Amino acid sequence: MGVDLRSDFLIVGSGIAALRAAAELPRGGDVLILTKAEPREGNTGYAQGGIAAAVGPDDSAELHAADTLAAGDGLCDEQAVRVLVEEGPRYVGELMEWGVRFDRDASGTPALAIEGAHSARRVLHARDATGREIGNVLWTRVSALPGIRS
């Protein structure tokens, strides 16, 4: 007897982008997530770097865009960069609301680092395992939603 793989939506992979999409799709129908290994065993879990968003008091979407475009040396799609820097803070806030534990400073606010090509402190980390932290929180959220199969 075969396996029923019919669904309204098919997501291949279980990285951050796939899981974020899956978080929205149950509203529109049945979602099937297919992976080549265990869902949490993708490259996301090995991503150590942070996530950049203009969430600090001395930062802005305009400054973040300027840094990104300069670092891209003419290779960036300016419209895509604008969407990223303008919407990024909202999605980082959403991740925190969902339970992602970014590092905090002594006052309890997110600890913001400055890294290559950035002119302001805007990189959030979850220890040295940011990808694993985000992936685990997203997987926990998505796997609890009705209409999601994997």
17-67 tens-digit pLDDT: 999 999 988 777 899 999 887 877 778 888 888 999 999 999 999 999 999
Q: How far is it, in rounded angstroms, from Cα 44 to Cα 66?
A: 27
pTM recorded for the entire structure: 0.88
- Strand residue runs (E) in the chain: 9-12, 31-34, 51-52, 112-113, 123-124, 148-149
Give the pLDDT confidence score for residue 71 in this predicted structure.
97
Give the pLDDT confidence score for residue 114 in this predicted structure.
94
76-117 tens-digit pLDDT: 999 999 999 999 999 999 999 999 999 999 999 999 999 999
Give the pLDDT confidence score for residue 1 in this predicted structure.
60
Q: How far is it, in rounded angstroms, from Cα 134 to Cα 132?
A: 6
Cα angle vertex 125, ends 124, 131, to 5°?
115
SS3 category, 147: coil
From 21, 38, 41, select the one nearest 145 (Cα to Cα).
Answer: 21
